[in-house]
Amino acid sequence: MASAMLGILIATIGIDGATGMPRYTFGSMNLLSGVLLVPFVIGVFGFSQVMSMMSDKGVDMSALSGKKLRFRDAMITRQEAKDCAPAIARSGFLGTIVGILPGSGATISAFLCYIFNKRVSKRGKLYGTGIPEGVAASEAANNSSAAGAFAPLLALGIPGSGTAAVLLSGLMMWGLTPGPQLFTDQPEFCWSLISSMYIGNVLCLAMAMLSIPFLVKLISVPAKLLSPIVVVLCFIGAFTASNDMTNIYVMIIGAVLGYFMTKYEYPTAPMLLSFVLTPTIEKNLYRAFITNDGSASLFWTKPITVTLLALTVILMIAPQVIKLVKKSRARKAG
C-alpha cells in the first residue's frame, strides 16, 4: 500500500489536468510536463540493480561460466511448465481484458497481472527472485494484452493501445477502414492479421530459445566490467526519452528509490503500476465528479461502482484473512 501511494504521489507531479495549475514542481519549469515513464522505469528497474550489484559481494557464477549450454538445456522442464500453467492462464485471461480496454496498454497489463499472480500464487513469496512462474505471469499478460488491443481496433475502429493507434493510421493509409464492415469487405486481410499473431509468437519463441545459450554467458561477465556498460546504456536511454537532462535526474532518483525499496523489502511493482494508472484514474475521476455535480455520492449509489468497491475491499482483505486462517490451523495442528 505504501509503495502504491508513493507511485500516486510521483504521478501527480506536473500540471493539474483539471485546473491547469502546477503541482509539486517546486518552481522548476522542467517538471511542468510531469515525470516521464521511461527514465523512471529505467532508474527503478535498471540503474537500481546496478547499485545492488556493486554494493553486494556478488553471487558465485563460476559453475555456469565454464558450462557449455545446449539448445536442449534451454527448454523448460515438465515441472516448470506445470508450475507456469496457472499463471499463464490467469495472465492470459486478465491481459486480454485489459488490452480490450481503450488506453490501457501492455505495460499496465504486465504489472497488474504480475501483482495479481503474486498475491494468489502459492509461491508468491518467491516472485522477484527469478522463478519462471513470475516471468511467465508478466510476459503472458504482455502478449495477451497486445493481442486483445486488436479486438476494439478491428471490430469498432477504436485503438486500445499506442501500437494499435499506429496500426490504425497504417490501415487508413492503405484505404482500409477498421470496423464491423472490415470483416465483410476484407475477410482475407482480417484473418491473415489474426494468424500473423500466432506465427509471430512462434518465431519469437524460436529466436529466444536459440539466443538463450549466448545470453546466459553474460552471467559470467564480472560485475566490474558489466556495470559500467549497463550504466552508460541507462543514461543514454533516459536522456533520449525527450533529450532533456531532467530525465537523468529522474532516473537517478528512481534508482535510489528502487535500491532502498528492494533493500528494505518494499515491492516496486505496485509503485510502477499506480504511477502508470494515476493519470487515467485522475482524468476519469474528474469527469465523474463533473457529471455528478461535484458530489461523491456516485460511489455508493451506483450499482457498478458499489460492486467494484466491494471487489476491491475483498481483494485487499482476502489475503490477510487467508493468512490468519492458515496460522490458526497451524496452531491447532501443533
Q: How confident is the model at residue 235 (pLDDT cuts 50, 70, 90)?
A: very high
Q: What pLDDT is recorded for position 256?
A: 92
Structural contact between residues 252 and 43, judged by C-beta atoms closer than 8 angstroms: yes
Averaged pLDDT, 190-197:
84
d(CA 96, CA 88): 12
Provide the 8-state DSSP code for 186: -
Structural contact between residues 223 and 61, judged by C-beta atoms closer than 8 angstroms: no
Averaged pLDDT, 217-232:
80
Site of grid cell 501492455: 106
* More confident call, 1 vs 57: 1
118, HSE (Cβ side, Cα atoms, 13 Å):
20
Q: What are the domain boundaries of the chain?
A: 2-291, 296-334
Range ranked top by mean pLDDT from 1-5, 40-44, 114-118, 315-319: 40-44
Q: For residue range 85-140, list pLDDT tens digits in order.
A: 989 999 999 888 888 876 667 777 888 888 888 888 888 788 877 788 888 888 88
Average pLDDT over the chain, rounded to an integer? 81
Q: Which three cell numbers stand for residue 120?
A: 494468489
pLDDT at 303 exceeding the cut of 50: yes
Q: What pLDDT is recorded for position 255?
A: 92
Per DSSP, the residues of 74-117 read: GSPPHHHHHHHHHHHHHHHHHHHHHHHSTT-HHHHHHHHHHHHH
Q: For residue range 59-89, list pLDDT tens digits in order.
A: 455 445 555 666 666 677 888 888 889 899 9
* More confident call, 104 vs 155: 155
d(CA 157, CA 190): 13
Q: What pLDDT is recorded for position 58?
A: 47
d(CA 77, CA 25): 51
